[in-house]
Amino acid sequence: MSLDFLISALVTVIGISTPILLAATGELVVEKSGVLNLGVEGMMLIGAIAAFAITQATFNPWVGVASAAAAGAAAALLFGALVLTLGSNQVATGLALAIFGIGLSSLIGQSYEGTLNPPFGSIFPAALARDPYGKLLFGHSPLVYFAFFMVFATGWFLNRTRAGLVLRAVGENDLSAHSIGYSVTGVRYGAIAFGGALAGIAGAYFSMVITPLWAEQMTAGRGWIALALVVFAGWRASRLIFGAYLFGILMTLELYAKASGYHVMPSQFWAAMPYLMAVVVLAVISARERGGSNAPACLGKPFLPTS
């Protein structure tokens, strides 16, 4: 195995893992606040079409990314209004959001089929990415570096700041947090909006970096993998990168299996492997919950203040 091939494979893994890492980071904060939002896939698709459409109109990819964040946050706040203000079931509402995002992105995206977006390349000079090592360090989209930054910033926020402590307290015991004067609903609205914004940016990565050509359901189920990744990481930000890159490696194996004509294991097997792994992870964690889990104690439970 040559060095060039290894570095090329690593670059591919990084590119594939980035949107999963972004979406999972946002969902981690949401779940730490005690809310379970299963609509990540829908928010990613809403962000993807928002980024594509706005970039087409402005020819500015940065405006497209900002629009994706705003669209994802708006979709998430719609979910928040239903589950926090109106008291709807979180699981059912999250699934409805996922279906809504798929349908809305398909409807809006009809007029953009077959059109290309301007490239959203690296922020570093092209000369830095000419050799293999330079390509590995400097040859990525700005969103790759943003994903790394957000993971570490989220971990620092949750574990080292007073606001992060309040958010975790709301997720662990919402009634106690409410009794000492914290706004449980306000904290959860903020967490939901943050998670939606990152999911929207994750969707923008698909329509602006991976394939700058619009296609229906282009996220291909990555939102569900992001949900599984949060569980796989044990609700800890420090483990998200490892989990995201593990899923990314499995997805990369599919691409290389197709390209190399490797027939011992069909490419469909490698294509199904990340999703099979997600199901196994969720099943194992669910079984372990009988003996204790790292999940926030109030995850998925409605907030019913006594006063």
Angle at the Cα of 129 (from 56 to 222), degrees rounded to 5? 50
Q: pLDDT tens digits for 65-114?
A: 999 999 999 999 999 999 999 999 999 999 999 999 999 999 999 988 87
Q: How far apart are CA 169 and CA 33, in angstroms?
A: 8
Domain-located, residue 283: no
Q: Which of these, 211, 222, 276, 185, lies nearest to 101 by C-alpha position?
A: 222
Domain-located, residue 291: no
Domain-located, residue 277: no
Q: 200 vs 3, 68, 157, CA distance in Å? A: 35, 5, 21
Mean model confidence pLDDT for the chain:
86
Residue-level pLDDT at 216: 87
Q: Which of these, 62, 298, 72, lies nearest to 188 by C-alpha position?
A: 298
pLDDT band at 291 (very low <50, low <70, confident <90, very high): very low
Q: In this prediction, what percent of the chain has a pLDDT beyond 90?
A: 51
Residue-level pLDDT at 184: 95
Q: pLDDT tens digits for 8-30?
A: 788 888 888 999 999 999 999 99
| Number of domains making up the chain | 1
Residue-level pLDDT at 221: 86
Domain-located, residue 70: yes
Domain-located, residue 42: yes
Judge contact between 186 and 272, C-beta under 8 A.
no
> How large is the C-alpha radius of gyration of the chain?
20
Domain-located, residue 192: yes
Domain-located, residue 118: yes
Residue-level pLDDT at 115: 81
Residue-level pLDDT at 231: 87
Residue-level pLDDT at 266: 65
Return phi, psi of residue 116, to 5°.
Answer: -110, 150
| pLDDT of 306 strictly over 80 | no
Q: 203 vs 43, 110, 226, CA distance in Å? A: 8, 17, 12
Q: Which of these, 298, 277, 161, lies nearest to 221 by C-alpha position?
A: 277
| pLDDT of 236 strictly over 80 | yes
Q: pTM higher than 0.95, yes or no?
A: no
Residue-level pLDDT at 215: 85
- Domain that residue 91 falls in: 3-219
pLDDT band at 290 (very low <50, low <70, confident <90, very high): very low
Residue-level pLDDT at 82: 96
Judge contact between 72 and 44, C-beta under 8 A.
yes
Q: How far apart are CA 155 and CA 188, in angstroms?
A: 18
pLDDT band at 307 (very low <50, low <70, confident <90, very high): low
Domain-located, residue 227: no
